[in-house]
């Protein structure tokens, strides 16, 4: 039987997948961070959420969508994250 608190990585990654599953449109890191903070009942760092989102992108669980910048066409805009569609 394991004791102690749960691993923050697992908690954040599961929460990200649940939140993205509930939402049809993509969410940015700040939106995910605020929803996770409400769910955990304490503030979670933007860097923490970003790190675990990047891990989920690398293992193909979620996909980033980079929007064009609103004013400068040479720059990248906001990045939204959605669940990766399963191909059967």
Q: Which domain holds residue 15?
A: 8-83
pLDDT at 87 (0 to 100): 58
Q: How many domains does the chain have?
A: 1
- Taking the C-alpha atoms of residue 38 and residue 67, their distance in angstroms, rounded to an integer, is 27
- Looking at residue 65, which CATH number applies to its domain? 1.10.10.10
pLDDT at 32 (0 to 100): 95
Cβ partners under 8 Å of residue 62, min gap 6: 16, 17, 20, 53, 56, 81, 82, 83, 84
pTM of the model: 0.83
pLDDT at 1 (0 to 100): 58
List the chain pLDDT tens, one digit each, 88 residues: 567 777 888 899 999 999 999 988 899 999 999 999 999 999 999 999 999 999 999 999 999 999 888 788 878 889 999 998 765 5
**Within a domain: 34:** yes
């Amino acid at each position: 039987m394991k004791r102690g608190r749960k691993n923050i990585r697992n908690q954040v990654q599961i929460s990200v997948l649940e939140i993205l599953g509930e939402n049809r449109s993509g969410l940015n890191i700040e939106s995910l961070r605020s929803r996770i903070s409400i769910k955990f009942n304490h503030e979670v760092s933007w860097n923490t959420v970003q790190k675990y989102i990047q891990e989920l992108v690398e293992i193909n669980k979620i996909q980033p969508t980079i929007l064009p910048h609103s004013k400068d066409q040479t720059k990248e805009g906001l990045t939204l994250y959605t669940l990766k569609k399963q191909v059967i």
